[in-house]
């Protein structure tokens, strides 16, 4: 079976964790995967879409196409799957134009309604897409991670020597500006604490010692393992509801406790007091980070539990069969035998 994935170059990281992650499992099912990035220009774009004729299944990841291109793809694709892991039907949190976008909404509705299946990265996205097509065509598959590709951190540093870490793109790093009071409280509690930023940019926060670390696929796992506390922050808005928590998964895979605000998937991914801390106010953030910085054994306990959770609830092996099933099967008249997120149980560490 030939599978074609059409992706937007700017979102290649999503492809790595939501499609490429399952390539080995696909190979065991005699399925081949070809990944094609959308080109600019009408003729090149038509060439991208025309490749659908040679595939048994086509995945469009996140990209909202002009309506005529969606129609062409529907005509040429034997089986069309739309994978969505962001609230792409609206503008993002950094936009100065507001969230609502009629153009995005119309394009989103078109691809969802024409697809044989939609893969939604969280429950909110599943609900949104299920309202636009037969419910049985919508499948929840979270962003997945292979914990074996991450070495767990060794927790030894204490106090101001402990390292905060952030991983993400410039677009998400800019959103930390809405958490400047929380970060300032940390700096006041632990002056000079190191704040590493694995990113294609950096941002200063007074009182914290910012250390930029350029991102690379080869070094990201080692960079995470060389830190102590992962931080995750999302603005409390409608765009954030569509986020699927990749950075939290990476922190947990690296054995780092996570401090996050209670927005969107953070509420279900971070188990307060067991894999990290959910915190809202500046005081809560400062207290959570200070407690973790002072106690390497606690960081190790929570980090180990987080790694266990990432493997058992969000592991590639857990969801591979479901992913392959969606690629192969036909829609089922409004029903779906959905794999649910398994309830968390402590590993007892």
User: What tokens does 8 get?
Assistant: 């937007």
Q: 3.40.50.2000, 3.30.465.10, 3.90.1150.10, 3.40.50.1970: which CATH number matches 2-144+316-328?
A: 3.40.50.2000
Does residue 305 contact residue 277 with C-beta atoms inside 8 Å?
no
Q: Cα dihedral sign for 93, 96, 98, 102?
A: negative
pLDDT in tens, the chain (349 residues): 999 999 997 557 899 999 999 999 999 999 999 999 999 999 999 999 999 999 999 999 999 999 999 999 999 999 999 999 999 999 999 888 999 999 999 999 999 999 999 999 999 999 999 999 998 999 999 999 999 999 999 999 999 999 999 999 888 888 898 999 999 999 999 999 999 999 988 889 999 999 999 888 899 999 999 999 999 999 999 999 999 999 999 999 999 999 999 999 999 999 999 999 999 999 999 999 999 999 999 999 999 999 999 999 999 999 999 999 999 985 433 334 444 555 555 554 4
Q: Where are the domains of the chain?
A: 2-144+316-328, 147-312
Other beta carbons within 10 Å of 246: 25
pTM of the model: 0.92
Query: Same fold for the domain at 2-144+316-328 and the one at 147-312?
Result: yes
Instruction: Kindly report, residue by residue over 82-141, the tens digit of the pLDDT.
Output: 999 999 999 999 888 999 999 999 999 999 999 999 999 999 999 999 999 998 999 999
User: What tokens does 288 get?
Assistant: 């959570």
For tokens 């204490």, the residue is 158
**Which residue intervals of the chain are DSSP H helices?**
12-18, 23-28, 42-50, 67-76, 102-114, 123-130, 170-174, 180-189, 220-225, 246-253, 266-269, 282-294, 296-314, 316-328
60 strand-pairing partners: 6, 82
User: What class has domain 147-312?
Assistant: alpha beta
């Amino acid at each position: 079976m030939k599978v074609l994935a059409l992706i937007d170059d700017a979102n290649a990281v999503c492809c790595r964790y939501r499609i490429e992650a399952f390539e080995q499992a696909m190979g065991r099912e005699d399925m081949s995967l070809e990944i094609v990035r959308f080109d600019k220009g009408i003729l090149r774009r038509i060439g991208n879409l025309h490749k659908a004729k040679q595939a048994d299944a086509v995945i469009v990841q996140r990209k909202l196409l002009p309506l005529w291109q969606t129609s062409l793809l529907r005509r040429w694709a034997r089986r069309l799957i739309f994978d969505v892991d962001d609230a792409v039907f609206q503008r993002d949190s950094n936009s100065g134009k507001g969230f609502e976008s009629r153009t995005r909404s119309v394009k989103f509705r078109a691809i969802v309604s024409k697809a044989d299946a939609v893969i939604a990265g969280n429950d909110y996205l599943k609900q949104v897409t299920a309202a636009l097509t037969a419910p049985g065509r919508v499948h929840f598959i979270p962003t997945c991670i292979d914990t074996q590709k991450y070495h767990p951190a060794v927790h030894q540093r204490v106090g101001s020597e402990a390292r905060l870490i952030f991983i993400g793109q410039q677009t998400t790093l800019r959103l930390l500006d809405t958490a400047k009071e929380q970060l300032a409280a940390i700096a006041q509690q632990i002056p000079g604490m190191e704040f590493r930023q694995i990113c294609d940019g950096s941002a200063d926060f007074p009182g914290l010692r910012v250390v930029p670390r350029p991102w690379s696929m080869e070094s990201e796992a080692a960079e995470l393992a060389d830190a102590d506390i992962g931080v995750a922050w999302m603005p409390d808005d409608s765009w954030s509801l569509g986020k699927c928590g990749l950075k939290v998964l990476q922190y947990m895979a690296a054995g780092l406790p996570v401090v996050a605000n209670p927005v969107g998937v953070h509420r279900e991914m971070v188990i307060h007091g067991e894999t990290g801390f959910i915190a809202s106010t500046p005081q809560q953030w400062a207290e959570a980070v200070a407690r973790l910085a002072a106690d390497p054994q606690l960081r190790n306990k929570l980090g180990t539990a987080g790694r266990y959770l990432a493997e058992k609830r969000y592991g590639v092996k857990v969801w591979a069969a479901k992913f392959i099933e969606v690629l192969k099967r036909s829609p089922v008249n409004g029903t779906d035998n959905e794999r649910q997120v398994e309830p968390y149980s402590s590993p007892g560490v």
